[in-house]
Amino acid sequence: MSGFVPDIDMFFAFLKVGAWRIDIKKVDHRSYLTHYPFIWLMLTLVLFFIGKFISDLYIQSIAVVIFLGTYSHFILDSLDSGTGIKWLWPFSGNLYTMKNNDVAVENKNFFSYWFGLVTLYMKRAKVTSALEIILIITAIMFLFK
């Protein structure tokens, strides 16, 4: 679940436009703070050390899970899906990616956007989408084990 959290910024993108339609080229959801690895590093470190300070292993575990989920999202976004991630923020505003596929779903309504993005992502980012499916299946197996 924490691997999806950085994409919550798409809801903000739709709110910013103020409509159920959005032109993805005009509103890049990766420019929001939820897609900045540094923010998640700081958040999870604070949470981890709070858990350590009050001797709560559960809080520490939650911090590790959030870190692993968000950073796996960022790594997969950097491998071959679109514009990249601001890995060096706050020191640089540049987006970094291994391979720019120019993955864009433009001028879609809210529901078509998500369906179109998943469909396009599965076609264009075969390696990372396969890795994500493997990670999800593994997590579900651990959940019900």
Per residue in 64-74, pLDDT (tens digit) is 999 998 998 88
Domain that holds residue 93: 5-144
Residue (of 100, 89, 96) closest to 32 by Cα position: 89
Report the pLDDT value the prediction gives residue 105, as an integer from 0 to 100: 47
Report the pLDDT value the prediction gives residue 144, as an integer from 0 to 100: 83
7-50 per-position pLDDT tens digit: 777 777 777 766 666 665 666 667 778 889 999 999 999 999 99
Chain-centroid distance of CA 59 in Å reads: 22
Query: Residue 123 pLDDT more than 90?
Result: no
Number of domains in the chain: 1
Mean pLDDT score of the chain, rounded to an integer?
77
Q: How far is CA 32 from CA 3, 88, 129, in A?
A: 16, 14, 23
Q: Span 46-61, mean pLDDT?
A: 94
Tokens of 28: 């890049």
How many separate helices (H) and strands (E) can be counted in the chain?
5, 2
